[in-house]
Chain A
């Protein structure tokens, strides 16, 4: 019998019961909750007179709606304020631990989960948010769910699931200087397409993935969903284990060692068989820039905007024409000639300390170009912000003309006051370039933190490898 994949190991460990048709009742170890997708679920519990099954398996934080400036003044937008206050009230009523808006530990749900050691290897982790795939970087099975399932997990600590197919995406070799985890995942999505991973749990492997930092692995798993896969994951290694030592929610002492012994088994067996294998050569990956309105519409920075005339698939060609019109771009324009209006460094993809260090290193003593109306850095959590300030990164950003904000999802999806105006073009370290994502009519180009910083200084996209 063939060995097991990492996905199968974790899935099997969490089966409560299995129906004849293969539908599994899957136990959920960790449930992260935020203000946008939870109010209707709490209300459902209330209407059915139910209580959370295991309140200690939940951790809540407001992140989507929170302002990133003047936070002590509260939230100006009344509708946003009501949603955040509803989360506070629900957490108090049901006894759920919450890092409220002005708690130092508040931040983007996918940043604080690992930071607190609430995320752990080998666990099943869910959240009413598609970027829950981020937590798979730690050898966990983590995926996003809708509000009905949020309520289901609250009430039963389980989910009804069918086993997914498995895909291994292997990136072999060494990444070039200036090429980051974000470029790797954008290149992967460019290759497999936004529906390439639909129906699959993806395991990222290969020497280039192994050599990534923990933060880099999180950026890769974060965007698994942009390739259609609900779950992305990376095998546990010593880097993973060391990451959790001393984290507040992680086991300590003897229990940590006991856990670590189990965590070391969390990798696919050498003879495990995947339903699909995709291989990329790390050396061929260049810094990436998205040009369209779907994350698969991405090219190396040295390339030109693709021409729909060269696309043979009529559905794709139609999508490309619509994207060019929305983005205000002409086919065959060199990417490096595209000027930008705003820069956003942040989001659950790229707002961890390593991301801020990478951006600051590119900026150095540089200044934001005069055509850039706004450049902002939004740290992923209060603790990331604190660490960055200890290292003096905030000074580098401020000296360059960036704004240094308070943590939250911010302009990744523009539910708070941070947004693009119609027609504005943004170099963004976030995960989605959909129409209107960063503000109605806004035009998003997805890039790495280093590439965003370089674009801020130049005023247009540039190849970060040619700086310094």
Chain B
């Protein structure tokens, strides 16, 4: 996983609530057996005027000029600002892969759906939850300053705005540690392989019907 310590970038405002993972990456692109290459199809239905299918040359499709991520400088932005319940719906981690492949490292919203929130940390995308009024204020600031940039400092759990003012944010300590270091969860868990084996031995005694492996 790609580590994240501090990150500075342009904030793109996506002014919608309940942005679901079907919208972030439509189903036809889930047929890929890879983890990469989803960026051109992030928000595909909103981003292009004609329908898309895997295997197309997406650079030749007509972009919807009204969609925020097609407008300069937001096509270069790395921080997404959204409304409540971002990432609801399907568990597809492809949604996170599409956002990171597009270039996003941080998503800020008043709330996230659980599975999306969890998936983000596994792929090096930092989801930041801020109170609704703080998010509102950011939307207002972005509206008047098109190239609005912020710096996210994960170590200090702070967002630094262009005027130097600071927004603190909360993040789970263990997840923060893993993201700062870019740690591989599986490697960490396997350090406890003996505990897992001991648990299984115990459960085989108390619940033998769960071990009728075929």
Contact between chains at A146 and B91 (CB < 8 Å): yes
With A79-B54, A130-B115, A146-B119 known as contacts, the answer to whether A120 contacts B93 (CB < 8 A) is no
User: Smallest Cβ distance from A127 to chain B, in angstroms?
Assistant: 8
Interface size class of B (residues with CB under 8 A): 35 or more
Give Cα A225–Cα B34 distance, bound, in whole angstroms: 26
- Give the CA-CA distance A230 to B119 in the complex, in Å: 13
Question: Do A149 and B122 touch (CB < 8 A)?
Answer: yes
What is the chain B residue whose CB lies nearest that of A36?
A: B30
Q: Give the number of A-B contacts (CB < 8 Å).
A: 197
Instruction: Using A146-B92, A155-B186, A440-B51 as known contacts, say yes or no to A413 and B33 having CB atoms under 8 A apart.
Output: no
The reply to whether B119 and A148 contact each other, CB–CB distance below 8 Å, is yes
- Whether, in the assembled complex, B66 has its beta carbon less than 8 Å from a beta carbon of chain A, the answer is no
Give the A interface residue count (CB, 8 A): 82
Which of B5-13, B71-79, B100-108, B201-209 contacts the other chain? B201-209
Residues of B within 8 A of A130 (CB): 89-91, 115
Chain A positions within 8 Å of B83 at CB level: 315
Interface centre among A97, A128, A132 (most CB of B within 10 A): A128
Q: How far is the CA of A79 from the CA of B212 in the complex (A)?
A: 36
Complex alpha-carbon distance, A87 and B105, angstroms: 31
- Decide yes or no whether B164 CB sits under 8 A from chain A: no
Q: Kindly provide the distance from the CB of B82 to the nearest chain A CB, expressed in whole angstroms.
A: 11
Task: Name which residue of chain A comes closest to B95, CB basis.
Answer: A146
Instruction: Give Cα distance in the complex from A145 to B89, angstroms.
Output: 12
Q: How far is the CB of A235 from chain B (nearest CB, A)?
A: 18
Q: How far is the CB of A249 from chain B (nearest CB, A)?
A: 7
User: A144, B91: Cβ atoms under 8 Å?
Assistant: yes
B14 to chain A, nearest CB (A): 12
**Contact partner, B115, options A16, A122, A144, A158, Cβ 8 Å:** A144
Contact for A435 among B22, B84, B119, B213, CB less than 8 A: B22
Q: Which stretch (B145-153, B154-162, B191-199) binds chain A?
A: B191-199
Q: Please tell me if the beta carbons of A434 and B209 are within 8 angstroms of each other in the complex.
A: no
The interface of chain B, by Cβ under 8 A from chain A, is: 15-18, 20, 22-23, 26-28, 30-35, 45, 51, 54-55, 83-85, 88-94, 96, 111-115, 118-119, 122-123, 172-174, 185-186, 189-190, 192-193, 195-196, 199-200, 203, 207-214
Minimum-distance CB pairs A-B, first 9:
A56-B213, A146-B93, A148-B122, A146-B119, A251-B209, A39-B33, A144-B91, A195-B85, A130-B91
Interface residues of A, Cβ cutoff 8 Å to B:
16-17, 19, 21, 23, 25, 27, 29, 36-37, 39-40, 43, 48, 50, 53-57, 64-65, 77, 79-80, 82-83, 86, 97, 120, 122-123, 128-130, 132, 144-149, 151-152, 155-158, 160, 162, 194-195, 198-199, 225, 228-230, 249-251, 255-256, 258-259, 262, 294, 315-316, 318-319, 322, 413-415, 422, 432, 434-437, 440
16 more contacts with CB within 8 A, not counting A27-B203, A151-B186, are A25-B196, A43-B33, A77-B31, A83-B32, A130-B115, A145-B91, A146-B93, A148-B122, A149-B119, A156-B196, A198-B114, A415-B30, A432-B89, A435-B22, A435-B23, A436-B45
A-B contact pairs, 7 of them (CB 8 A): A39-B34, A146-B91, A146-B93, A146-B96, A147-B94, A436-B45, A440-B26
